[in-house]
Structure formats: C-alpha cells, structure tokens
Amino acid sequence: MRQLKFGIKMADQGFLEQQPGFATIAIHAGQEPEKWNSAAVVPPITLSTTFKQPAPAEHTGFEYGRSGNPTRNTLEECLAALEGGKHGFAFASGLGAMTTVTALLSKGDHIVAIDDLYGGSNRLLRQVVARMGIDITFTDLTVSGNLENALQDNTKMLWLETPTNPNLKVIDIAEAAKVAKNRSKDIIIVVDNTFLTCYLQKPLNFGADIVLYSLTKYMNGHSDVLMGSAVVNDQAIATKLRFLQNAMGIVPSPFDCYLVNRSLKTLALRMERHKESALTIAKWLEKHPKVTEVMHPGLPSHKQHEIAKKQMTGHSGVFSFKHSGDLKESKKFLSSLKVFTLAESLGGYESLAELPSLMTHASVPDKQREELGITDSLIRLSVGLEDVEDLIEDLDLALEKTAENIFKMTLRWGIVTAGKICNDFVNAFNSFPEKGDQLIVAIAARNKDRAAEFAKIHNIAKVFDNYEALAKSTDIDVAYIGALNPDHYGLAKLFLENGKHVLCEKPFCLNMKQTQSLINLSQKKKLFIMEAVWTRFSPAYIYLEREIAAGNLGEIRFIEANFGISCDSDRALKKEYGGSAVLDVGIYLLQLSQYVFKEEPKKVTAVGNLNDSGVDDTETIILEYGGGKRAVLNTQLGLTLLNRATIYGTKGRITLEDPFHFPDKVTAVDGTLKTFPLHATSLPYNFGNSAGLAYQAVEVARCIRAGLIESPRMSHRESLVLAKLMDTVRSQLGVHYDVDDQEFP
C-alpha cells in the first residue's frame, strides 16, 4: 500500500484540505489478510480470554485478554494510522479512556481544563480526579491570556475539547500547546476530538500529545457500542498508557472492537453527509425568527470561525442553538419533534436532540452552568444521515409549536423621567426599524406638565405625574429609568417590587452594595434587570469581539482610551446629584477594558482631581491584569478630548474612533476604515450617536421573551465588577457618598 502523508493545505472553502487516502487507510490499515491463518479479508473476532503459552512466562504475542487481543490490536493499529499517530489504545468507554489518561498524574499535580466540557468529563474531574489530590483549574481558553494565567509550577496536563460541548467553542490547539510547552515541556496536551473525529481534525499535527475519543459517537456511528480510545506519538507516554491499560483493566470486548473496526470503513462517507446536512440546517436556523443564536464553527458568525478554518477540514453534525423561550418552550419543542429523537449521545446515523441543562450537563454545578450560558433555551442537535429536507421540516414544525403566545406578545415600555437621555432613548427607539413588536406606551415625571410635553413630542399615550402610579400600572411590562444617579436604586427597586422588568441607566447605582441589592431582588422576583451600558450592543463592538476571538490581534496586551467632555452640568459635577467623572464617563472606559480582557484586574491605580463639591472631575486610571496586560484610561469633565480607544495586540491594533463608546467608525488591523452607519431620525439628539441606544432595547426584549433575568452581553456579574472598580477608584481619590455608609438587603 502506498505511503500516505498528512498534508496541511487550504481548501477552496477556507478550511484545511482533507488528507488524501483517508478511506483507503480506514479500510486497509491493520487489516492485512496475511495476518490470519485463513487469509480472511474481514478480520476475525477472537473471543478467547486466554492464550496457550509454549512454556512458563513465554508467549507468542498474547497471554490474557486484558493485556492484549488480536481483534483489539487490529482496531488500535487502524486508529493510530487514521490519526497519523504511532500508538493506539482502546478502552471500554470514552470516560474509561479519560480515567486512564488522568492516571498518568500523581497527587499534587495540576490540570488546566477548558471550562466548557462534556458533563461527564466535568463530573469525572471535579468529583473523582480531584479526590485523588490533583488540582483542576477550569478556564475559558478562547480568551487570550487565560491559559498563561492558569498555568502553575505543578501543572502537568492541559485538557482541551475543541469544539467544546455544548457551546462549540473552538480552541487554537497550536497556540495552546505553544503556551503550555513554553511554561513546561512536561505538560501533557490532551485533546478530546470526539466531535470531529480524525477525519475532520488531527490534533497531533498541531502539538497535542494525546488525542482522546469516545468511539461510541462518530467513530462507531451506529449507537450500538460503548468504547473510547487514545492515540499518541511519544514512546514514553505510550509505554505508560500500555501499562495502565493492562493494570486498570478498562478494556473493551473483542466483539465491540470488531463493530468499531467495521464502522471505520464508512467513516469518511458518513462524516461528509453529517457535515453537509448540519451546515445546511445551521444556516437555515440562523435565519429563523425564533432562534437567537446558532453555535456552529462552519458559520462565519461563529466567534472562532477563523481558528476553525486553520485546524479543521470542516465540522461534523453536532451543534447547538438557542431559541427565544424558556424551559417550558424547550420541552414543548423537544416533544414536538418527530424525526429527531430526544436522547443523549451523538454521532449516530439517527438524528438526536437534547437539552444539556437537564441532560448531558445536569451534573455541572449550577453556577458554572450559568456562567457557561448553558440555559434552558439551549438545544443541542446531532444531525444524522436522514434526508436534510425532512430534518428541516421537523425542526420548523416543532419551532412553530414553541412559545406561540410569547412570540406574539407586544412588549410595552414605560419611561421614567423626562430628561435628555430619556429623550434620546425614545427618539432612537421609535425610529429604529429593527425594534420588532415593542411600544412605548407611558411616561412618568414628577412635573406633570413636563411629562405631558414629552409625551406630545414623542406621541406617548399615557402620562403619569408620579413614579409609583406607573410602577403599579398594568399598562407596562418594562421600565426605562433615566433619572439622576442617586435615584437609580430606589426607582429600580420600586419597579421590580411591582413586577416590572427594568433597564436602568448607567451607573446602575452609586456603589456596589446597592448594585448587589438590586440583583438580589431581580433574582428573587425572577424579573429582568440590566444596566444600560448600550455600548455592549454596538455593531462596532461586536466586530471588535469577533476580531479578537479570531486571533487577528494576537494576544491583547494594552488598551489606551480617553473620554473627556467640556461639562458644566450639576448632574455630573455636584455630589448631591451623584456627580463624578468615573460614574459619568469613566464607566465607559472601565467597561471597555472588561469587555476586552474579560477578567478582573489584579491592581487598580487612580490619580485625579476633586472639585469644590468633593467629586472627581478628572482622573487617570491604570488597570493591571495578569501577564503584564494593562489599560490606561483618562477622563475629563472640563476638557474635550479625542474620545477614542486603541486596543493593542501582539499582531496589530484596532482603534474605535471618536466617539469610542458607540463608534460608527473603526480602524481595522489592516489599517482600513470600517463604517457602522446608524439609522436616521427626524428629531434631534442631545448626545452624539444616540441612535445606538435602540440596540439595547432590542436585547432587553429578546431576553424577556426568552425568560432571562439578565443579558449575557451585559450580565449582572459585569455590573458588579464595574461597580467594584468604580468604588475602588472613588476610594483612592477620596470621593464619598452618604450611601456608602448604609447597608442594603
């Protein structure tokens, strides 16, 4: 048989080119008829558990079924050849393979693992491996710098799934291996390649030491075998695994080995069908009005799409999506499916659907599951080999039966106060062509004449002269609060207590204690609340996020940003009105740094000036993160600055042009100017680019209809981190509010 090499070339569609001869290797590697006395073309099944020995302590290759079996050896040889590895090992299950691999470690060792793991893998690490005295750190390895920060002197293993289960994150294997090996060449890089198989991705080519599989899934592909495997190149690791395989005895039966060996013959054909059908369905779902997110690495919208193209030849049949409903709607959707079967597992010829939050990932701790976004609206699909038209029709009919009443609901807004920012919000909202089925139906202000004038300008039907009446009104579902800073806490609390969802202008509150209190109330009442950091929903910021995720900037090392305005407003400059440069404009700078680095800084340093009222009117804030990363942020309330932000990475930089907090222009890594036009309106705005305020209203509606109490793009945790940072800055500058001495429930 010809010698086949595993070339790495770019295919026309952007993914890696498929290796030549894959199917030939699958059919012939380790299967030579000359091996058998009968010269059988199909390798025979050897069921014997013991083998005759010519003399004591002598054998002719086999002695006992646990330590070796001809049928198992045939499969292991084929697996190694398909992977481009030297040594293959078969185990009784995927978790059996994982158990054996983790047995390479000793008490006191440390594992760094991707946070978004298969539930069974998460459970094994947390509840079994950890009890053996091995420390485990779970971290999001798609975030630049997280791996470097997680590595310790005693780190001995890096555990990757890519794509991950169930969020389909893609980890840059080569980059992760480089970072780990730079720290210590003794760190073993393990990649669980179950989702893709060796047909679509070969981790050994990118620096992995061990490639692990649940062969139960695609490699067998018929949902009738439990088995796992590991493939390695390194002789020392192979010797240890061979010993552990025998010593621990987690080995498969010869008959199961025969079945998997048989299935490998059609792996290439099956994976092509899985790949094509799943991508077709993912593209269809992405356009469906009831679907809010599709997680498929083959879609350009996927955050790590560019990384996927560097190390994959395509994607398999498993992917996830989220719909705009809650647990009730998920159950209704799943029970309405006729072609898809509600079941765990994946990779078989039949199409499956499941709810990870209650099924495959139910054992993941609640807090981690929430942080990972494994909500009750996340559905995981395993697209089988049926006709794709039948699968799409099945999904379409099930979605039609899902959340019928919720999606017909008109979301009714009430506006709290009639100030400048409320004017801009309503103006942007009413003129936004993509706001969907939402209406502003009421306005409340302490001055009824002012409220009536506001309502007349913006064509709002109902006017209230006190906030309590609006909060108790059955005419609204959600309140937008644009009051002065000291009033945010009390007003948000009022509306939550009266059963209303809340979008509250930034800063959420004057301090972290108030912020935590509102979040506690939101969780108790099961009502949505979000700090109105509208920046997070800017198309330009979403572009920035994708550029970072794609690795186009390399590792982010430095942020430089300014926000300065000439301001004489009491609202911003007087302590009694909650004035403060950090609360008024500095919050935009702080949220940018958090948005990019996605971790709390290790050190905060602030220097600035206090005005006669005792509040800061200017400051420079330095945020220092792990690995030498830093942000330098400047605020001014008495001087107009060039309000732009530049994010520097090891491969280049991106500049968010003035105004950086909602830019319509971005200077890209390649130096080109990208534009993000905002919609037009006939009414004037008080603040620049205020048309962008409408984007957050769309997110609020999406979350409420999905049964969420927070937005994943501006979460409660993010608001708490921002409040903590602003408290720290105020403390260093000597800015103190009376509420800082109070306690809140």
What domains lie within the chain, and their CATH numbers?
22-265 (3.40.640.10), 274-404 (3.90.1150.10), 409-531 (3.40.50.720), 539-675+715-741 (3.30.360.10)
Contact criterion met (CB below 8 Å) for 196 and 149: no
Is 217 one of the annotated active-site residues of the chain?
yes
- The stretch 466-488 carries a mean pLDDT of 95
Distance CA 342, CA 356 (A): 11
d(CA 412, CA 479): 9
Poorest-pLDDT segment among 150-154, 348-352, 363-367 = 363-367
User: Which tokens is 201 given?
Assistant: 């991705």
pLDDT band at residue 681, thresholds of 50, 70 and 90? Answer: confident
Q: What is the pLDDT of residue 692?
A: 92
pLDDT category at 1 given cuts 50, 70, 90 is very low
**Exactly one of 66, 262, 265, 713 is catalytic; which is it?**
66
Task: Give the pLDDT of residue 36.
Answer: 67
Beginning with the edge strand found earlier in the chain, give each strand of the sheet holding 378-382 in spatial order. Answer: 291-295, 318-323, 378-382, 352-354, 341-342
User: For a pLDDT cut of 70, what percent of the chain falls above it?
Assistant: 97
Q: For residue 23, what pLDDT is reported? A: 85
pLDDT at 12: 46
Distance (Å, whole) CA 311 – CA 174: 9
Tell me the mean pLDDT in the region 371-377.
88
List of residues 6+ apart from 107 with CB closer than 8 A: 132, 133, 134
Q: What is the DSSP string of 653-665?
A: EEEEPSSTTS-SE
**What pLDDT shows up at residue 5?**
36
Residue-level pLDDT at 404? 52
pLDDT at 329: 86
Do the strands 188-192 and 210-214 form a parallel or antiparallel pair, or are they unpaired?
parallel
**Among candidates 627, 601, 611, 623, which has minimal Cα distance to 577?**
611
pLDDT score, position 242: 96
Degrees (nearest 5) of the Cα angle 399, 400, 402?
Answer: 60
Exposure string over 304-332, b if 16+ CB within 10 A, otherwise e? bbbbbbbbbbbbbbbbbbbbbbbeebbbb
Rounded to whole angstroms, the Cα distance separating 249 from 67 reads 8
pLDDT tens-place string over residues 67-105: 889 999 999 999 999 999 999 999 999 999 999 999 999
Is pTM beyond 0.85 here? no
User: Cβ–Cβ contacts within 10 Å for residue 199, how many?
Assistant: 26
Q: Which of 92, 157, 147, 102 is nearest to 124 (CA)?
A: 102
State the DSSP code for 740.
G
Please compute the mean of the pLDDT values over residues 607-634 and round it to a whole number. Answer: 95
Give the H/E segment covering residue 514. helix 512-525
The CA distances from residue 700 to 344, 396, 504, 588, in Å, are: 32, 25, 11, 20
The C-alpha atoms of residue 544 and residue 163 are separated, in whole angstroms, by 22
How many CB atoms are located within 10 Å of the residue 716 CB? 21
- What's the CA gap between 349 and 354, in Å, rounded? 16
Average pLDDT, the chain: 91
Complete DSSP assignment for 520-539: HHHHHHT--EEEE-GGGG-H
By the 8 A CB rule, do 532 and 505 touch? yes
Q: Is 192 a catalytic residue?
A: yes
Q: How confident is the model at residue 18 (pLDDT cuts 50, 70, 90)?
A: confident
Q: What digits encode the pLDDT tens for the residues 283-309?
A: 999 888 778 889 999 998 898 999 999
The H or E element containing residue 198 is helix 197-200
Query: 140, 172, 192, 658: which one is catalytic?
Result: 192
Return the higher-pLDDT residue of 539 and 289.
539
Using alpha carbons, list the distances in angstroms from residue 520 to 7, 505, 712, 743. 55, 18, 17, 14
Catalytic residue among 123, 126, 202, 217: 217
Among candidates 203, 206, 105, which has minimal Cα distance to 161?
203
pLDDT (average), residues 680-709: 88
Query: What's the rounded mean pLDDT across residues 692-696?
Result: 94
Angle (nearest 5°) at CA 274 between 269 and 277: 120
What angle separates helix 94-102 from helix 119-127, to the nearest 10 degrees?
30
pLDDT value at residue 3: 40
Annotated catalytic residue, options 118, 489, 695, 737? 118
**506, pLDDT greater than 90:** yes
The confidence score (pLDDT) of residue 550 equals: 80
- Write out the H or E segment, with its range, that includes residue 112: strand 110-114
pLDDT at 584: 93
* DSSP-assigned states of every residue in 560-613: EEEEE-B---HHHH-GGGT--HIIIIIHHHHHHHHHHH-S--SEEEEEEEE-TT
Whether residue 118 lies in the annotated active site: yes
pLDDT in tens, 648-670: 999 999 999 999 999 999 999 99
Integer-rounded Cα Rg, in Å, for the chain is 29
Average pLDDT over residues 581-600: 94
Q: Going by DSSP bridges, is the β-strand pair 645-649/653-656 parallel, antiparallel, or unpaired? A: antiparallel
How many C-beta atoms surround the C-beta of residue 23 within 10 A?
15
Q: Which helix (H) or strand (E) holds 723?
A: helix 716-733
Q: How far apart are CA 206 and CA 194, in angstroms?
A: 16
For residue 271, pLDDT beyond 80: yes
Q: Is the pLDDT of residue 392 over 90?
A: yes
Write the DSSP string, 601-648. Answer: -SEEEEEEEE-TTSSEEEEEEEEE-GGG-EEEEEEESBS-----EEEE
Given this model, what pLDDT does residue 361 score?
A: 87
CA angle (434 as vertex; 430, 440 as ends), nearest 5: 30
Residue whose tokens read 């979008």: 503
